[in-house]
Amino acid sequence: MQPEKNKFKPTEQANFIGIGITIFALILLAFFIDLDSVKTWIEKAGVWGPIVFIILKASTIIVAPLSGAALFPLAGLFFGFWPGILYVEIGDFVGYTISFFISRIFGQKIVLKILSNKEGSLLSRIIEHVSTPKGFFQACLTLFAMPELLSYGAGLSRLPYLKFILIITPLSIVASSLLVFFGSILDINSNSLLLSLGIPIIGALVIIAGGTIFVRSVNKKTNI
């Protein structure tokens, strides 16, 4: 069973890489681009700015190979903390709901075509684990870096939609607020830069620890 554990790592690492690239890109932007001008341009776009962002955020959950890690700090940077959280969560809610019902209505065959091979391998092992509210809550705590897997997996399980959305939404707010907050306080000329860089690093460590615990739990259950 030892080789199975490695199936979790590539997808999780892709999210870490996305976060790392985003942090690096934001620092470069702060050095070489007038971020106030970008914010002004977004404000002039009016309601279309948030709408486009919400659509992009939802698509990162529905279209599983896409990573939404980059959008969290960008939401905070360009919209501010509270509006950023609002737009992120609307996008997540739409993405969670659509992906849940895609799997609930069309079944595992369609879902496996949407997910990558690595995600499909892990999905088949956690569907039973997320069939109960308690199991799904545990999965959310440890696999919040892969919301597409949680949504599609829950749709394929016996978990009712209402319980699914009531569990994943508040946990999603807590997790995403860290990176949105990072973007909202990023100022290359301020003393808050060190603090803002530390937030996603701490979040990444939590993801690693939680993911390890969850995979061990799933492997132990599989071996029973």
| DSSP one-letter string for 37-74 | HHHHHHHHTTTHHHHHHHHHHHHHHHSTTS--TTHHHH
What does the pLDDT average to over 81-89? Answer: 93
Distance of CA 83 to the CA centre of its chain: 18
Integer Cα distance of 103 and 149 in angstroms: 11
Q: Supply the pLDDT for residue 76.
A: 86
Q: What angle do CA 151, 155, 158 make, to 5 degrees?
A: 130
Q: Supply the pLDDT for residue 21.
A: 57
Integer Cα distance of 145 and 17 in angstroms: 12
Would you say residue 191 has pLDDT above 50?
A: no
- Dump pLDDT digits (tens) for 162-172: 999 999 999 99
Higher pLDDT, 169 or 34: 169
- Dump pLDDT digits (tens) for 104-114: 999 998 998 88
Residue 31, token pair as written in the block: 């050095």
Integer Cα distance of 126 and 136 in angstroms: 9
What does the pLDDT average to over 91-112? Answer: 95
The model scores a pTM over 0.75: no
Integer Cα distance of 189 and 211 in angstroms: 35
1-10, 18-27, 141-150 — most confident range:
141-150
Closest CA to 177 of 100, 80, 47: 80
